[in-house]
Amino acid sequence: MKIRQGNRDASGNWNHKSEAVSLKSPLVLIFSNRFVLEQEAVFSEMRALFPDGHLVFGSTSGEITGTSVLNNGLSYTAIEFEKASFEIVTHSILKEDKNSFKTGKHLAEKLDQKLLKHVFVLSEGSNVNGSELIKGIASVLPEDVTITGGLCGDDARFEKTLAAYNEPAKEGEVIAIGLYGASLEISYANYGGWFSFGPERLITKSEGNVLYELDHKPALDLYKNYLGEKASELPQASLFYPLSVQFKDKKRPLVRTILNIDEASNAMVLAGDAPEGAKVKLMMATVDGIVDGALEAAKRAVKHREHPCQLAILVSCVGRKLVMDQRVEEEVEEVCEVLGNQAVISGFYSYGELAPFSDDRICELHNQTMTLTLISE
């Protein structure tokens, strides 16, 4: 595996860290602030850097390269596999009337399943129900094919997210990168470091990822009562107080953040499903708790690996970044220390993380976690 990395800072200055590395038809992961992606010159600049590259763009809430976290910038990681191969397919959720399950199903149907080992998903993060997207993809793929990835971000603005493959980034795109070959070793893990507090409540009315009632009372009203004066800052304020949702049919709770609010119906639009009958508690975190969570995720990801990781794709939640503020790089540094100097680190801050638990193969949508996909060949 040969890798080149570089970035562009908030002032527009480029830093190409490994130009001497020559790559043939590489997979190029480009994570960037949404405003940067909207600049017309960005696509042509990346195409000039990699004339035969497969350019995958995604908007973020922060870009990760090595131990650094960029704000308002762009980072790229170009990968040439020496033994393995890849295929990239896309499908727009806007073509499916924002139906996330159908989008995932059609996306997976476009992938060649012969020798397929893993699928990394980079999805728009504004209109998607991440839980249903995963279900749609998994309904098509063989059971032994694992899935990880993330939902694109837009800092804490929640205005729109962008993604694209080999064209300027746009709204609605969902991208799947299929990885092929027996030489690949891929491991994954996620961990949060948040803790629950307050009374446990029952979801008494919901539809998919739209939460209407808790304990037969309007969910949004209850949530605003907890936030107090910060309620006027929704949905951004919700990133500090996500929901822990214990599903009836799952061993472990999943965390859900709020992507939007519907004042007219007193409802909250979550990043993934929150079914009726599930139990909910509020969550919060400390900086040290988040750092420890990232460390735990890294330990779990490397625990059963046979070979050192060559490439690590980190997807961490925007809520973690907001809580950590100036100390945000500490969680990335902890991960890098566990993975070792041979690992090239890439990634972004997201609106949702896709991964199985480290001891499982069934992909789930997570929020407020540090999620790792470790790859070597």
- What pLDDT was estimated at residue 367? 94
- Residue 62: C-alpha distances to residues 46, 322, 342 (Å): 19, 10, 23
**How far is 31 from 255, CA to CA, in rounded Å?**
24
Return the percentage of the chain with pLDDT > 90, whole number. Answer: 90
| Mean pLDDT across 297-307 | 96
Q: Which of 31, 60, 57 is nearest to 43 (CA)?
A: 57
Give the pLDDT score at 358.
80
Mean pLDDT calculated for residue range 326-338: 96
Structure tokens at 170: 């746009």
Please state which of the ranges 190-194, 235-239, 269-273, 308-312 shows the lowest mean pLDDT. Answer: 235-239
pLDDT (0 to 100) of residue 172: 98
Judged against a pLDDT cut of 80, whether residue 206 lies above it is answered with yes
Measured at the CA of 245, the angle between CA 242 and CA 246, to 5 degrees, comes to 155
Q: How confident is the model at residue 226 (pLDDT cuts 50, 70, 90)?
A: confident
Enter the tokens of residue 79. 């990968």
Q: Counting every residue, how long is the chain?
A: 377
**Backbone phi, psi, residue 236, to 5°:** -55, -40
| Banded model confidence at residue 20, pLDDT cuts 50, 70, 90 | confident
| pTM for the full predicted model | 0.94
d(CA 153, CA 347): 12
Check pLDDT > 80 for residue 143: yes
For the cut 90, the answer to whether the pLDDT of residue 81 exceeds it is yes
Is the per-residue pLDDT at 57 higher than 90? yes
Average pLDDT, the chain: 95
pLDDT at 375 over 90: yes
- H or E segment to which residue 300 belongs: helix 287-302
pLDDT for the residue 175: 98
pLDDT band for position 111 (cuts 50, 70, 90): very high
Q: Is 25 left (phi over 0), alpha (psi -120 to 50) or beta?
A: left
Q: Name the band, by pLDDT with cuts 50, 70 and 90, for residue 350.
A: very high
Other beta carbons less than 10 A from residue 145's beta carbon: 20
In which band, very low, low, confident or very high, does the pLDDT at 259 lie, cut at 50, 70 and 90? confident
pLDDT of residue 169: 97
Question: 154-169 pLDDT, tens per residue?
Answer: 999 999 999 999 999 9
Report the pLDDT value the prediction gives residue 236, as an integer from 0 to 100. Answer: 86
Q: How far apart are CA 149 and CA 178, in angstroms?
A: 12
